[in-house]
Structure 1
């Protein structure tokens, strides 16, 4: 089977999600592709390039997923869909998600564009709220922190109490929505005649 960037990304995704991003190696990737490790370097410059490939892929997948899940929704419904979709993506793609976390280098335009597209989609899903300037940044950071923190604890096995993790996450989402209430755009009420 031909080795190309798409196949490398596909195999690297499977390995990173199974073994963790730190468990990804060029030797394992080459073996999964059925080639020798030196041959892999004809396609990618090394492990950093593979991780970048995973980061770009993950950012695009998460952005498309968020856009799909929040389409036609606004306000609390959009935020619920966004937070649950974000959590599900991170849970199903732990290695790819970990590759997405570092801040992209200033010189990497494609990576920065991927981050910017995701942020634009996140902001668009919050259109039911009046968020400007620093408030928008605070809300985006808070949203990401809630989801990332929960997923990180969940994946590490720290949340093994018999109380449902899904119920706990739902509780957190609802608490986050209560925090957003002062920013909610209210529909105009009909005036009495």
Structure 2
């Protein structure tokens, strides 16, 4: 009899822990991002190498504090791919990251297929939005747009244990405590 009780307790504990883990991974950490008109979608200018806002509408986004690469957004724009290609920096090797299934406007497989087919073009939205993380923006021929965060070369090296090297900036936690704060004044 004791063995049955222990087995039932273990099975129930495992099921509860599994359900909680699933919920936290798929729903728990994500929050809806409040739109900030004129600031939500930016592309890095070829001329200035700085992010600039573009025209957009129908913006939806999610993010999570648990990781800098959980950001996903969808929007529409009236700007053409030709204009964008002449004005903004193209992204190299864009790989959309799969988001949670309930955020149905962002389908990483469909975005990747459109990028491969040439019906979507990816741009650099913001370089080093977090240490080692770039924001990528893909825009389709019909004006649908998608945003996600992805590791850049420095981020890939930093997180896989490879020696980062001199071409990468110092990680924020690696800077000496008495170093001047790099953030702009309020």
Is the strand fraction higher in 1 or 2? 2
Fold conserved between structures, TM > 0.5: no
Larger Rg: 2
> Is the helix fraction higher in 1 or 2?
1
TM bin (shorter chain)? under 0.3
The structure whose RCO (Cα within 8 Å, separation 6+) is larger is: 1
| TM-score (ref. length: structure 2) | 0.27
